[in-house]
Amino acid sequence: MLQKKPLITIRNLTKEFDGEVVLKGIDLTIHQNEFVTLLGPSGCGKTTLLRILGGFEQPSDGEVRFEGIDLTQIPAYKREVNTVFQKYALFPHLDVYENIAFGLRLKKVPEAAIMEKVNRMLSLVKLDGFQKRSITSLSGGQQQRIAIARALINQPKVLLLDEPLGALDLKLRQEMQYELKEMQKELGITFIFVTHDQEEALTMSDTIVVLNEGQIQQKGCPVDIYNEPNNRFVANFIGESNIVPGVMPMDLRVAFEGQTFHCVDRGFRQNEEVDVVIRPEDLQIVPEREGAFTGVVDSVIFKGVHYEILVMVGDREYVVHATKSASIGSKVGLFVSPEDIHVMKWGGA
């Protein structure tokens, strides 16, 4: 990723609704042409943050600057920001053409230019020839595309997307993920994308901001977020994890399950208690003698690409994703390589 100019800077952003604090001092910088995903469970404040950027909510405290200018003083309709809404929010009394042309008509753009731009937008979202169709005759996926076209025609500097793929089926969603990413690269617009779907976030983003209970848990590129979760919440929320208590006797060593392992983490106090994160796909089932530690296969579920195998080590359960099955009740060894052991600060019992 090229280093780019900061576009939006958020400082100590706080939002309260009737005494309930939804955002607790968010600090965040968003750069030009960045695809940023706000990821978190429902109620984490991600939509509120997006609505403040869109101008639909006012912050209780803190500042939001857009190219250095205080954004909170600018009403929604004067911002160079457009939104794709969760339920599309297309105007049911207007046809496809008029929905997309809505923003340009308000700017009194001449009709010929409107027509040219609407047609260009329709081909961008691959719905040529849909001009005269009524909104109610469109499928969810098509409505989604119209909503995107309607927002993009105004050539915003930032496009806000509020769980735009939530209502689509899996196949269509994957297709749209790919297309949105392509569009963002092609148009060079900053996308701020809100979702609770970690896979979507990992697939599309340059930067993921993981939110929980109104606070940023971690900000980073998808690979870092997945491989080096900051805390238990991130580890659990992004993909499946085995989280095991351990101790760091020294840098590059971690002890858990009664053994000391090599690892790649450093910077902890001597004998500091830590959480050890191991992704299910990083655990390998090997013959009993070759394993770092051993356990008994408790259950095997076929998941398509892989088997999900639960191995009991003492009274702790490990989830293993393996391409080969194992027989239930058999004793097996478990192996994990040093770079797949992720150590994070102890998050409490």
- Span near other proteins by CB under 8 A; candidates 4-12, 50-58, 109-117, 305-313: 50-58
Residue 136 as a binder of other proteins (CB under 8 A): the answer is: yes
Q: Which of 65, 87, 133, 157 binds other proteins (CB under 8 A)?
A: 87
CA distance 85 to 311: 43
Query: Do the strands 35-39 and 207-212 form a parallel or antiparallel pair, or are they unpaired?
Result: parallel
Closest by CA position to 82, among listed 130, 41, 26, 121: 121
Structure tokens at 64: 């939001």
Q: Which of 10, 39, 49, 55 binds other proteins (CB under 8 A)?
A: 55
Instruction: Tell which positions 147-176 bind other proteins, by CB under 8 A.
Output: 150-151, 154
Q: Identify which of residues 55 and 222 has a Cβ nearer to other proteins in the complex.
A: 55
Residue 91 as a binder of other proteins (CB under 8 A): the answer is: yes
String of contacts with other proteins for each residue 220-259, x by CB under 8 A: ----------------------------------------
Number of residues that bind other proteins (CB under 8 A): 26
Q: Which of 92, 110, 188, 258 binds other proteins (CB under 8 A)?
A: 92
CA distance 343 to 336: 13
**Distance in Å, CB of 147 to other proteins, minimum:** 8
Is the separation of the CB atoms in 258 and 293 below 8 Å? yes
Spell out a b/e string for 7-43, using b for 16 or more CB atoms within 10 Å of the CB, else e. bbbbeebebeeeeeebbeebebebbbbbbbbbbbeee
CA distance 80 to 158: 7
Structure tokens at 278: 């191991």
* C-alpha torsion sign, points 240, 246, 249, 254: negative
**Distance in Å, CB of 31 to other proteins, minimum:** 22
Residues 6+ apart with CB under 8 A from 294: 288, 313, 331, 332, 333, 334
Residue 115 as a binder of other proteins (CB under 8 A): the answer is: no
Q: Identify which of residues 56 and 178 has a Cβ nearer to other proteins in the complex.
A: 56
Query: Do the strands 253-256 and 81-84 form a parallel or antiparallel pair, or are they unpaired?
Result: unpaired
What does R_g of the chain's alpha carbons equal in angstroms?
Answer: 24
- Span near other proteins by CB under 8 A; candidates 78-86, 193-201, 213-221, 268-276: 78-86
Angle at 30 between CA 166 and CA 3, to 5 degrees: 120
**Distance in Å, CB of 158 to other proteins, minimum:** 12
Residue 178 as a binder of other proteins (CB under 8 A): the answer is: no
Q: Which of 37, 48, 82, 198 binds other proteins (CB under 8 A)?
A: 82
Q: What is the side-by-side order of every strand in the sheet holding 190-195?
A: 81-84, 158-162, 190-195, 35-39, 207-212, 215-220
Q: Identify which of residues 64 and 320 has a Cβ nearer to other proteins in the complex.
A: 64
Residue 17 as a binder of other proteins (CB under 8 A): the answer is: no
**Distance in Å, CB of 95 to other proteins, minimum:** 12
**Distance in Å, CB of 106 to other proteins, minimum:** 5
Q: Where does this chain bind other proteins (CB under 8 A)?
A: 54-56, 75-78, 81-83, 85-87, 89-93, 102-103, 106-107, 136, 150-151, 154
